[in-house]
Amino acid sequence: MSPGGTHTLGDLTVSRMGYGAMRLSGPGIWGPPSDRDTAIAVLREAVELGVTHIDTSDFYGPHATNELIREALHPYSDSLHIVTKVGAKRTPDKGWPAALSREELTSAVHDNLRNLGVDVLDVVNLRLAGEHGVFPIPVSITEPFEVLAELRQQGLIRHLGLSHVSAEQVKEARSIAPVVCVQNEYNVANRANDGLLDALAAINIPFVPYFPLGGFTPLQSGVLDDCARRVDATPMQVALAWLLQRSPNILLIPGTSSPQHLRENIAAADLKLPADVVADLDALA
């Protein structure tokens, strides 16, 4: 049974409750995990619990997270779909600069193919990165997206998506090739992408929010804690359940390196928030 039900990424069917693998690498998303056995166990348990959507990138580690996924899950089940991203790289000072040239994007796609152990990548998101974590950056997406569209035509990528983008950049990308998902920051407290989320829902393109508990003020956290007590759940579970109920095109990819937190996150897919709790959470924005 797929936690949270299912949605499609192009012609791929995935569980709405997925798993984000970023936290499996070492501190600062750098190097291998401190506990490799637990990291592998978390990946395998996620799949055993019905997750069919794993989000990753070869710049996590770098390489370490994809190598873990391959060790834990390869050969992959036909029902399991791995979404990766390109557009950034890691530097020795643990920075995340943009990597959007033709050479960098092509190399990144081949790195993902090699380290995941596949001939074709299910979905590749183009990630736009700004200085000091500012997103989205007001640049044309045409040149880098055309590179990925060419690699898709070559048969190395099935589907393309976007990350850290504006509505205008989504429109620009869709004029070049189909877009099957968009990853932007969105949660109970941060609704800046409300308009984009609703526009994507109208054309049945999944919206994949990250930082489901990011940017809360103390007051907002207090309201979330109160709502969690009222439904006998954790604040994270309530935040995830609210997202699933917010729109049917939302797909979740909460990340963790803890087996216990993994189970709690997936259990949130079965949490139905009553109307009064939803109303209180809606009012946080």
Residue 207, both tokens? 């919206």
Q: Is the dihedral of CA 221, 129, 123, 42 positive or negative?
A: negative
Is 178 inside any structural domain?
A: yes
Residue 56 lies in a domain: yes
Tell the residue number behind the tokens 């526009």, with chain if given. Answer: 199
| Length reported for the chain | 285
> pLDDT band for position 215 (50/70/90)?
confident
Residue labelled with tokens 């969690």: 228
Whether the full predicted model's pTM is greater than 0.85, yes or no, is yes
Instruction: Find out whether 56 and 71 touch, Cβ atoms under 8 Å.
Output: no
Distance CA 257, CA 259 (A): 7
Which residues are within 8 A (CB) of 117 and not within 5 positions of it... i.e. 6 or more apart?
Answer: 70, 74
Does residue 115 lie in a domain region? Answer: yes
Q: Does residue 1 belong to any structural domain of this protein?
A: no
Contact 235, 221 (CB under 8 A): yes
Residue 200 domain-assigned (yes or no): yes
- Alpha carbons 124 and 184: distance in angstroms, whole number: 15
Is the confidence at residue 216, as pLDDT, over 80? Answer: yes
pLDDT at residue 142 in the model = 96
- Annotated catalytic residue within 60, 76, 186, 210: 60
pLDDT at 107: 98
pLDDT digits (tens, 9 = 90+) for 233-252: 999 999 999 999 999 999 99
User: Does 210 participate in catalysis according to the annotation?
Assistant: no
Q: What is the number of domains present in the chain?
A: 1
Q: Note whether residue 217 is domain-resident.
A: yes
What is the per-residue pLDDT for 75?
98
Answer whether residue 133 shows pLDDT above 50: no
Give the strand pairing for 12-15 and 6-9.
antiparallel
Tell me the per-residue pLDDT of 41-62, one tens digit each, with 9 for 90 and over.
999 999 999 999 999 999 999 9
CB 180 within 8 A of CB 7: no
Mean pLDDT of 27-50: 97
Question: Which of 2-16, 54-68, 132-146, 227-241 bottoms out in mean pLDDT, i.e. has the lowest?
Answer: 132-146
Residue 31 belongs to domain spanning: 6-283
CATH at residue 14: 3.20.20.100
